[in-house]
Amino acid sequence: MDGQITLERRDKARLEIQLGCIVRTRRKRPSKLIADTVNLSRSGVLLNWPAGDGPDKPQIGEIIDLDILLSTPPEFGERSISCHAVVVRVEANAAQYLVAAKIRRFSVGQIGLIVRDQPSERAVRAC
């Protein structure tokens, strides 16, 4: 150890949780892709953003909209966390990007019909 202390800059607890999410960009040509969370807090999210699948690499400062798909008991129906976020960090990682985004606003509600072909792939069909 070199005697340096690393301070945690986060002020909200972070959950290491992998959930499917739908990402929508607000570019001149809006687009949508399916990604997975790496971790999530009340104020931010870290995503595995597939490279070459859908929109190009996100830019720092870019605004994105997310629907994070929640696992809920059937009696509650399909739910998601809908977020308005801004990209704060992008790192290349193999065939994907690690994208950190700061959440500006969020709400929890019902979503459209979710179709799960495989555990790692999720698609959404709008109601």
Average pLDDT over residues 98-119: 70
Return the pLDDT at 85.
Answer: 96
Enumerate domains of the chain plus CATH numbers. 14-119 (2.40.10.220)
Return the pLDDT at 78.
Answer: 83
More confident residue, 68 or 71: 68
Amino acid at the residue 99: V
pLDDT above 70 coverage of the chain, percent: 75
Average pLDDT over residues 79-89: 93
Average pLDDT over residues 93-103: 91
Measure the CA angle with vertex 99, ends 5 and 33; round to 5°: 165
Task: Give me the phi and psi of 126, to 5 degrees please.
Answer: -65, 145
Q: Give the C-alpha separation, 97 to 92, whole Å.
A: 5
Does position 1 have pLDDT exceeding 70, yes or no?
no
43: left (phi over 0), alpha (psi -120 to 50) or beta: alpha
The pTM is what? Answer: 0.73
Average pLDDT over residues 48-57: 78
Return the pLDDT at 123.
Answer: 37
